[in-house]
């Protein structure tokens, strides 16, 4: 088991992301990734035991980057606004979040029919859900949101809403504008207020 530099693994993973967004996940071969890095498959196979490991690593980066975005939101606001900002991390409001969404969707489709990958998806989704639950519990203690709200359930609904709005931006030609996306989220959260 060689000592492995995380930076280099990240480089491979990011190259994989670019190929996924540009060509699609099923056309993201070892050779395509290597070419994207201007090197050969030797690099890819050196840092990842096999493709499965690479895929899982790249998928993990989705959650990683989403959590970074959410933490930034936590730092810069409070109350219900903070919840809205956190959930905005899932909306494709800028180039970065659009890319995250596309990669996420590509992996999700790829996970259909592959139980192991779907489980990995469920785990990362569960982590994000926990963050939202925690936030809802806090808001409820502060009496910022209604007491009849069940945080565990409401977290699912909130994530469903932002994921759905994100998908809308992907699949609808007459899609919601970024402002409308934010407005939908804002209005729904306002409905939770005390």
Specify which residues 27 forms β-bridges with: none
Q: Which of 80, 110, 144, 189 binds its own copies (CB under 8 A)?
A: 110
Q: Which of 50, 130, 142, 150 binds DNA (CB under 7 A)?
A: 50
Cα distances (Å, whole numbers) of residue 51 to 33, 45, 108, 123:
11, 8, 17, 20
Sign, CA torsion 106/111/117/119: positive
Residue 137 is a binding residue for its own copies (CB under 8 A): no
Residue 22 is a binding residue for DNA (CB under 7 A): no
Smallest distance, DNA to C-beta of residue 132, A: 34
Specify which residues 193 forms β-bridges with: 145
Site size for DNA (CB under 7 A): 24
Which segment (49-57, 68-76, 125-133, 185-193) binds DNA by CB under 7 A? 49-57
Rounded to whole angstroms, the Cα distance separating 75 from 67 reads 12
Residue 175 is a binding residue for its own copies (CB under 8 A): yes
| CB distance 105 to 92 below 8 Å | no
Rounded to whole angstroms, the Cα distance separating 100 from 17 reads 9
Smallest distance, its own copies to C-beta of residue 174, A: 7
Rounded to whole angstroms, the Cα distance separating 24 from 102 reads 10
Q: Which of 22, 24, 52, 79 binds DNA (CB under 7 A)?
A: 52
Binding site for its own copies (CB under 8 A): 20-27, 102-103, 105-114, 118, 121-123, 125-126, 129, 152-153, 156-157, 159-165, 167-168, 170-176, 180, 184, 191
């Amino acid at each position: 088991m060689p000592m492995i530099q995380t930076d280099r693994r990240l480089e491979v993973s990011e190259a994989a992301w670019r190929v996924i967004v540009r060509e699609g996940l099923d056309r993201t071969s070892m050779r395509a990734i290597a070419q994207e890095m201007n090197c050969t498959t030797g690099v890819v196979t050196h840092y990842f035991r096999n493709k499965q490991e690479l895929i899982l690593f790249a998928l993990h980066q989705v959650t990683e980057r989403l959590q970074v975005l959410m933490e930034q939101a936590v730092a810069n606001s409070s109350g219900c606004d903070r919840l809205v900002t956190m959930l905005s991390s899932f909306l494709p409001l800028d180039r970065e979040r659009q890319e995250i969404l596309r990669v996420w969707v590509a992996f999700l489709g790829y996970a259909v029919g592959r139980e192991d990958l779907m489980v990995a998806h469920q785990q990362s989704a569960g982590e994000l859900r926990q963050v939202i639950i925690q936030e809802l519990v806090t808001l409820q203690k502060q009496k910022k949101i209604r007491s009849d709200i069940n945080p565990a359930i409401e977290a699912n609904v909130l994530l469903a809403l932002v994921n759905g709005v994100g998908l809308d931006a992907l699949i609808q030609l007459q899609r919601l504008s970024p402002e409308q996306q934010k407005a939908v989220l804002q209005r729904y959260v306002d409905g939770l207020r005390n």
